[in-house]
Amino acid sequence: MSTDQARSSSKTISTPFGSTDAERLVVAQSTELFSTSQPLILASGEKLGPIQVAYETYGTLSEEKDNAIFICHALTGDAHAAGKYSLEDSKAGWWDEFIGPGRGIDTDKYFVICANVLGGCTGTTGPTSISPQTGKRYGLEFPFITVEDMVRVHRALMANLGIETLAAVIGGSLGGMQVLEWVAQAPDNLQNAIVLASAAQLSAQGIAFNTVGRRAIYADPNFNDGEYHQNDEVPKYGLALARMIAHITYLSESSIEMKFGRKLQDESDEFAFELQQETEFQIESYLHYQGNRFVERFDANSYLYLTRAMDYFDLAARYDGLDAALKKTSARFLIASYTTDWLFASAQSRELVSTLISNDKHVSFCELESPFGHDAFLLEIDQLTQIVRAFLQAED
């Protein structure tokens, strides 16, 4: 990706990032990439530009610009991977325990970047953005996007920051798919690829759950063909239901049993005998809570676009086989799966490992024990820190 395709409003190459709350305050950043005259040509053939990209950085970029690690976030994640925007914030970034001095990704050593994906709803151009052609929100007029497009935008961001080679690219779930696409797109531009709880394609079961989630949004009476912002009534019921369905796939049977079992919300431990009592069991209350909280921070149209991009991702099909997709890179690989993850089963990780071994690539594989299912890469920070730290240190 050439630098003449990117125009920047800011170029931050140092964000001091320490261990105390005061030292872990971060600033949301934004850069404009591409343009109307030099748009991004999407995988669909459509053109898009300019593109606003929201991102955050942690640590200091070396003079040689050889210590950058790019974090690819998961489906409903964002660029706010670590730290807080103010001391009053109640919650830190989604991978806060993993990023910082002496942590899994050591900001004393690495310059860390995380950017919101194309099609997202937290600062990067997506369906909620204003179209320069109409002056209105894109809505469903936003062009179809793929994981390939997401990575091309993030590669343009790296070029805009003057970073030619990445020390590592890391991500879980949809983020892991982006890591694999980085390897295929730019085989000479990254030294390490870390793929967590992910695969070269989504399974039919995963596509099925995404389909049901999208149908819930479409069926919401407030969806209004994606033009719901005109009425100030978002499809909150459909979006909440989509999140509830998806969240079940992120858990495991053992984690649900361990945390909730069949416990009731009512302390009297007696059934209400009411059909419309939707939160009688604690697991019901938990899922409703997750759905309602999701509506407060995410956009329904973005959910439609991003889940479809996830469905379409098929590394082998796009590059004429996994061998062709992975054989050109000299990157070292760390592939990690989790024993109770049934959304991205370990068998899919082993397929990646076998392909890499057959192509004489340096690959480490860990199947990690965890009761937490697919969400383990976001929850089991201590064990993730151990394997990532050891993997990166082995290169020194």
The full set of domain ranges for the chain reads 3-202+314-393, 206-307
Which residue in the list 129, 173, 252, 349 is annotated as catalytic?
A: 173
DSSP 3-state of 8: coil
Q: From the centroid of its chain, how far is CA 331?
A: 21
* Residue scoring higher pLDDT (4 or 370): 370
Q: Which two tokens stand for residue 114?
A: 């995380």
Q: Structure pTM? A: 0.95
Cα dihedral 168, 93, 78, 346 sign: positive
The string of DSSP letters for 191-254 reads SEEEEES--SB--HHHHHHHHHHHHHHHHSTT-GGGTGGGGT---HHHHHHHHHHHHHHHS-HH
Residue 396: active-site member: no
Pairing between β-strand 111-115 and β-strand 168-172 as defined by DSSP bridges: unpaired
Cβ-based neighbour number of residue 30 at 10 Å: 16
| Beta pairing, strands 192-196 & 168-172 | parallel
On the question of pLDDT at 134 being above 60, the answer is yes
Q: How far is CA 235 from CA 21, 125, 244, in A?
A: 37, 21, 14
- pLDDT (mean) for 169-176: 98
Examine the residue annotation and report whether 266 is marked as an active-site residue of this protein: no
- Exposure of 280 in the CB half-sphere (CA atoms within 13 A): 11
pLDDT in tens, 184-198: 999 999 999 999 999
How far apart, in Å, are the Cα atoms of 232 and each of 70, 120, 128, 227, 228? 36, 20, 13, 10, 6
At residue 191, the pLDDT reads 98
pLDDT in tens, 71-93: 999 999 999 999 999 999 999 99
Which is catalytic among the residues 106, 341, 349, 370? 341
pLDDT at 274: 85
Residue 8 has pLDDT above 50, yes or no: no
pLDDT at 396: 60
Are the C-beta atoms of 104 and 147 separated by less than 8 Å? no
Residue 3 pLDDT exceeds 80: no
| C-alpha–C-alpha distance, residues 72 and 79, integer Å | 9
What topology is assigned to 3-202+314-393 in CATH? Rossmann fold (3.40.50)
Q: What is the pLDDT of residues 323-359, one digit of tens each?
A: 999 999 999 999 999 999 999 999 999 999 999 999 9
CATH class of 206-307: mainly alpha
Catalytic residue among 252, 346, 374, 375: 374
Write down the pLDDT at residue 381. 98
375 is catalytic: no
